Amino acid sequence: MLENIKRVFLIVLDSLGAGFLPDAESYGDAGSNTLLSVSRAKNFHCPTLVSAGLFNLPGLEEARGTSSPFAAHGRAGEESVGKDSIVGHWEIAGLVTKTPFPLYPDGFPKEVITAFESSIGHKTLCNKPYSGTQAIKVYGGEHLRTKSPIIYTSADSVFQIACHEDIFPVEQQYANCLKAREILSGVHAVARVIARPFSGEPGFFYRTENRRDFSLPPTGETILDKLYSAGKDVIGIGKVVSIFSGRGFTREIHTANNTEGIEKILDCQKADFNGLCFANLVDFDMVYGHRNDIEGYAAALGEFDRALGDILKNQAPGDVYIITADHGCDPATPSTDHSREYVPILCFGAGVRPSNIGTRKTFADIGATVCELLGAPPPEHGESFLNLL
């Protein structure tokens, strides 16, 4: 039994799925396996993650795991309806989503667009499902001429707004997103409104690192609420803060990319706190998964692998680390959308045995384990696997 646990570091490698779920076919994702696809990249080199047991999971035999992993390892299925970051993170935190968020495969209805245009004083462009990089490539020039924001969606429940930073300063873009967030309620309560600032010239547009998500607040209590109520520190690094609308955090650390997120995790290792450090590394999904960039994805995983060596060196007595994901985004499939996959679980730290925790029923088992480790009441959903560590 692990005792005297002071800090838990929960690190989400955004979109690093571990093989398609039994219901993946209904989502168009049969055969997806993000981890396996990334392991086939020519530049794949992640010796620390391999040693931890990341590839000792079903469906990853080709990637060749290790006979003596140093971490407890397993995977978890998803009970929530959907395959996006909101439902994935919420379920990790003990909140299962049974009612799907609205999707707009034909674009947003006239009443939504009209209300948004009226609120910002500009007409809009596009209003259809689109790749973000293609949206600015196709509509960016017209946007510069007309100052009309580019509105697009995806297979996820998102209302995305792309504007050039020379036309709409970043803070104004965020303000416009807040207006959209207010409009998108009731039957049109999309999971996220996302600011997608870009820069550059026609033919050479590029998205900047000033993305910001404006999410619905959680529809129920999460482990963050429980830890906060128990008097624990709850530090959020990166995208997780916006995913939970800032609720339950005692400290928020915004980041622009994986490199900065890793730096903040290492900084938190040096800090004196008692509770949870919850981090998301978004580049795997945003920069590489959605762009079907297998080599780039592998390089980013290699960067984290090198940082994991430092994390291992810097861990303190009373620390437990859990590495997982929130969904898949297989860069080897024709789709550029998320994929319905299991998520991997690695757990290590003082007193953690390198056991096989098997296939868990729900992501919420992670949150239940965090609560038991830190002495907080359990969430409504999930079963702790602390007894296996």
Q: Read off the pLDDT of residues 226-283 as tens digits, 9 standing for 90 and up.
A: 999 999 999 999 999 999 999 999 999 999 999 999 999 999 999 999 999 999 999 9
Q: Is 335 helix (H, G, I), strand (E, B) or coil?
A: coil
Name the domain boundary from 181, 199, 215. 215
Is the Cβ–Cβ distance between 101 and 86 less than 8 Å?
A: yes
- pLDDT level of residue 207 (50, 70, 90 thresholds): very high
Query: Quick one: 192 and 255 in the same domain?
Result: no
Query: Quick one: 207 and 248 in the same domain?
Result: no
Whole-angstrom distance, CA of residue 88 vs CA of residue 220? 14
Share of the chain above pLDDT 70, in %: 100
Query: Quick one: 119 and 91 in the same domain?
Result: no
Name the domain boundary from 183, 215, 247. 215
pTM of the model: 0.91
pLDDT tens by residue, 29-57: 999 999 999 999 999 999 999 999 999 99
Q: DSSP assignment of 108-176, as one string? A: --HHHHHHHHHHHTS--EEEEE--HHHHHHHHHHHHHHH-PPEEEE-SSSEEEEE-BTTTS-HHHHHHH
The answer to the question of residue 104 being in a domain is no
**Please, what sign has the CA dihedral across residues 270, 8, 91, 293?**
positive
Q: Is 321 helix (H, G, I), strand (E, B) or coil?
A: strand
Average of per-residue pLDDT values in the chain: 96
Flag whether pLDDT at 105 surpasses 70.
Answer: yes
Residue type, 326: D
7 closest CA partner among 234, 264, 318, 307: 318
Whole-angstrom distance, CA of residue 326 vs CA of residue 15? 6
89 closest CA partner among 366, 378, 376: 366
- pLDDT level of residue 61 (50, 70, 90 thresholds): confident
Query: Quick one: 132 and 189 in the same domain?
Result: yes
- Tally of structural domains, the chain: 2
Residues with Cβ within 8 Å of residue 113, at least 6 apart in sequence: 124, 127, 151
Flag whether pLDDT at 3 surpasses 80.
Answer: no
- pLDDT level of residue 205 (50, 70, 90 thresholds): very high
Name the domain boundary from 215, 234, 250. 215
Q: Is 8 helix (H, G, I), strand (E, B) or coil?
A: strand
**Averaged pLDDT for residues 111-126:** 98
Flag whether pLDDT at 172 surpasses 70.
Answer: yes
Query: Quick one: 168 and 46 in the same domain?
Result: no
Whole-angstrom distance, CA of residue 256 vs CA of residue 304? 15
Report pLDDT for 246.
95
Residue type, 346: L
Is the Cβ–Cβ distance between 343 and 324 less than 8 Å?
A: yes
75 closest CA partner among 96, 87, 60, 62: 60
Report pLDDT for 282.
96
**What value, to the nearest 5°, has the Cα angle with vertex 282 and ends 90 and 349?**
70
Query: Quick one: 201 and 306 in the same domain?
Result: no
Whole-angstrom distance, CA of residue 137 vs CA of residue 49? 37
Query: Quick one: 89 and 234 in the same domain?
Result: yes
Report pLDDT for 4.
85
Report pLDDT for 350.
83
Report pLDDT for 134.
94
Whole-angstrom distance, CA of residue 174 vs CA of residue 163? 11
Whole-angstrom distance, CA of residue 11 vs CA of residue 281? 8
For the chain, what is the total number of helices (H) and then of strands (E)? Answer: 12, 15
Query: Quick one: 206 and 222 in the same domain?
Result: no
- CATH number of the domain at 201, please: 3.30.70.1250
- CATH number of the domain at 243, please: 3.40.720.10
Give the β-pairing of 275-281 and 7-13.
parallel
Query: Quick one: 83 and 223 in the same domain?
Result: yes
Report pLDDT for 36.
97
**Averaged pLDDT for residues 98-113:** 96
**Averaged pLDDT for residues 349-376:** 97
Report pLDDT for 98.
94
The answer to the question of residue 1 being in a domain is no
Flag whether pLDDT at 358 surpasses 90.
Answer: yes
Query: Quick one: 161 and 307 in the same domain?
Result: no
- pLDDT level of residue 64 (50, 70, 90 thresholds): confident
Whole-angstrom distance, CA of residue 375 vs CA of residue 275? 10
User: Which tokens in the block code for residue 3?
Assistant: 């005792």
57 C-beta neighbours (distance < 10 Å), count: 24
Query: Quick one: 94 and 118 in the same domain?
Result: no
155 closest CA partner among 82, 81, 243, 96: 82
Domain of residue 271, residue span: 7-99+217-388
Share of the chain above pLDDT 90, in %: 96
Alpha-carbon distance values, 256 to 49, 181, 253, 282, 286 (Å): 24, 22, 10, 9, 11
Report pLDDT for 1.
60
**Averaged pLDDT for residues 87-93:** 98
